[in-house]
Chain A
């Protein structure tokens, strides 16, 4: 039965809005303290080189320089994943990609720090490098780290192959034998950056006694605390980390790139150190996501039923071991109810910057390949693309291609909404094509802590531990208000530092509204229980005879007495006399996040003379379970679509033969801007998640999954030629024409 809500589903003014538009909000680079130093990082100009020696003496002798560090300043750490993180922040022995940090300086000014970098003498012995995933995976390729090859793999792949995953059920070959049409294609996608507007930035202050303060732009300040404490061999309790306002993350701020460096410099200099990445540094040495090489084979009957499906995904994730292709292999065929399906994936190292998550990590490229072959099959068999997807769509009870059997999901509802939308039947202009694609993301739960205080004036403060990257302070306040039965503007939610509230996992996996929401509801229940007890004491009746209705305690049952309801504000006003402050808190690790599906429709116009592709119309349908604050949800859907459009049409890391990045800036790395695009129309579908009291599903990631294939399918229709590699930038389209 559909729940009725008073606060959820409304669109209150965003609580972070005024500070952001007036410049009052404090981002990573906005924090300064008296006497702080400025840091700069020296980076490798080589894609792969042994660091024979580093002479820092001249830099250290420069007036104004207070500390210089290299990889030798960092002691080893036991956990290998933390060691990789540390060695990515500062190279030890070898530089593994163009832009890899090899030394850092802290000085009294940015100018002196930059001057000092020029005085550091590094002797390199250049080594062979490998940039392409297929070349890196081939036997004989230069191996970046020995001894990390995935278990049980044979000699047919190189030691760079650090992960292998396979999912599925049935026998795809049997399915292909039963098909009327089988299409097999190979695709490539480029590495792309998350493109957050705010570069990584921090202000670190670490004393020789191991006590420290760190201010930084991150998606998870508890993660920052734990990783930095491990790398610097200090106690987590002694390092307080505060998350700044964040100017975008999209997964790219779920690890550390500079924080251990700034802390080490601060410890060595005995002063606070500010470190801000330049945009060039961001491109060369933070993220990006993986590039991919993929084979997809799908068999289909002439009426559109998929009989068999197989995908082979090869992702490169840069210069260190990582685990991400599994998400692609799990996502590839998740939209379909299949009898015979297999998806395999290989994680591969190359001499590129260490990958980090980017919105639905691993899924967009896999789904691009699958949905492109689906489109080609529909064209060949003269089938309607939405009807064909409906015929095969996963639904409640479907055994997914990655194992679990789906609970209530909203793919069919999204497809039906797309089919019924005027966009789908609108006429197309010349040189224009219409693309369709499904998309999928898992959504996560995870660890969370919330502390709620009921103030004497009847207002509520809530502290939670996840940086707000998508409107979570608003949605959490709304859920608190709904659970307590009060107005939204009576609640203020803040993101606490690591010393203010218990541990919370990173803001990732579209988990925060779901997981912090559950913790908030439970914290509210605890506070309500206490308020009912206070009312019972005042009324001199049993606490069990009091219930909470519409923001007030009221007696219930025949023998409870006839008392008028006592509101939250009334109970709070006397709290000092009835037992002291009233609060509620909750710590937990909620699961049952509920997967999410989306369907995107796009009209593209391709200029046959220039190869330029214009997005003419875009409509995105997505099941979000329950939209707490629909405006934020629409923003998430629009933002994901735009980033996917950039991935499809323009964005790519371009390397020279020397392995050096050639487009480390927004002038040469083209992300879509507002003037490039029409209004993206979001259509919210609400199929409640049975795993959340309000039906919430995560909504932040699914929307980046469908655009790659939707745009590619539109371009294929517009030009009559199918492209098998992204991005489909104008020169590449012209070449195809």
Chain B
């Protein structure tokens, strides 16, 4: 199962949980399961998040594969200049 890390201020919506394990083959599946487990996170996920999978940052890429031992860090959707 992938190890999911929630960045600091999002923990207010996960009852303080900073890390959890979720079984998911893709980012889309992972986000759906994350939102189901923590409904307060759903609004943030719907608005858009980036995911760092094993150190590589992906921006709303639903079908990115996630390995069984992957580390997935949920971070805000980023914008640039």
Q: Which of A252, A404, A509 contacts B55 (CB 8 A)?
A: A404
Interchain CA distance A592-B50 in the complex, whole Å: 12
Instruction: Say whether A407 contacts B55, CB under 8 Å.
Output: yes
Q: Which of A194, A342, A593 contacts B57 (CB 8 A)?
A: A593
A283 in contact (CB, < 8 A): no
B8, B52, B61, B81: residue with the most chain A Cβ atoms closer than 10 Å: B81
Interchain CA distance A406-B57 in the complex, whole Å: 10
Interchain CA distance A691-B8 in the complex, whole Å: 27
Binding stretch for chain B, among A65-73, A271-279, A320-328, A365-373: A320-328
Q: A167-B8, A407-B55, A446-B59 are in contact. Are A360 and B80 (CB under 8 A)?
A: yes
B31 in contact (CB, < 8 A): no
Chain B interface, DSSP helix/strand/loop, else mixed:
mixed
B17 in contact (CB, < 8 A): no
A217 in contact (CB, < 8 A): no
Instruction: Say whether B55 contacts A511, CB under 8 Å.
Output: no
Chain A positions within 8 Å of B78 at CB level: 326-327, 330, 442, 444, 509
Q: How far is the CB of B69 from chain A (nearest CB, A)?
A: 13
Instruction: Say whether B81 contacts A701, CB under 8 Å.
Output: yes
Interchain CA distance A252-B54 in the complex, whole Å: 33
Q: A166-B8, A442-B57, A592-B57 are in contact. Are A403 and B52 (CB under 8 A)?
A: yes
Q: Which of A167, A342, A444, A591 contacts B61 (CB 8 A)?
A: A591
Instruction: Say whether B8 contacts A445, CB under 8 Å.
Output: no
B56 in contact (CB, < 8 A): yes
A168 in contact (CB, < 8 A): yes
Q: How far is the CB of B59 from chain A (nearest CB, A)?
A: 6
Chain A positions within 8 Å of B76 at CB level: 165, 323, 326
Interchain CA distance A691-B54 in the complex, whole Å: 13
Over the window 30-69 of chain B, the binary record of Cβ atoms lying under 8 Å from chain A Cβ atoms (1 yes, 0 no) is: 0000000000000100000000101111110100100000
Interchain CA distance A401-B36 in the complex, whole Å: 28
A164 in contact (CB, < 8 A): yes
Q: A402-B75, A403-B75, A404-B73 are in contact. Are A251 and B56 (CB under 8 A)?
A: no
Over the window 106-126 of chain A, the binary record of Cβ atoms lying under 8 Å from chain B Cβ atoms (1 yes, 0 no) is: 000000000000000000000
Instruction: Say whether A445 contacts B59, CB under 8 Å.
Output: yes
Interchain CA distance A402-B76 in the complex, whole Å: 10
Q: How far is the CB of A546 from chain B (nearest CB, A)?
A: 32
Q: How far is the CB of A331 from chain B (nearest CB, A)?
A: 10
Chain B positions within 8 Å of A164 at CB level: 9
Interchain CA distance A326-B80 in the complex, whole Å: 12
Q: Which of A151, A342, A509, A593 contacts B81 (CB 8 A)?
A: A509
8 smallest CB-CB distances across A and B, nearest first, come from A251-B81, A509-B80, A166-B8, A357-B81, A404-B52, A403-B73, A166-B9, A508-B80
Chain A interface residues (CB < 8 Å from chain B): 151-152, 164-168, 194, 250-252, 254, 323-324, 326-327, 330, 342, 344, 357-361, 402-407, 441-442, 444-446, 508-511, 589, 591-593, 691, 701
Beyond A326-B78, A404-B75, A446-B59, 10 extra complex contacts between A and B, CB < 8 Å:
A168-B8, A194-B81, A254-B81, A323-B79, A344-B8, A357-B80, A404-B73, A508-B81, A592-B58, A691-B56
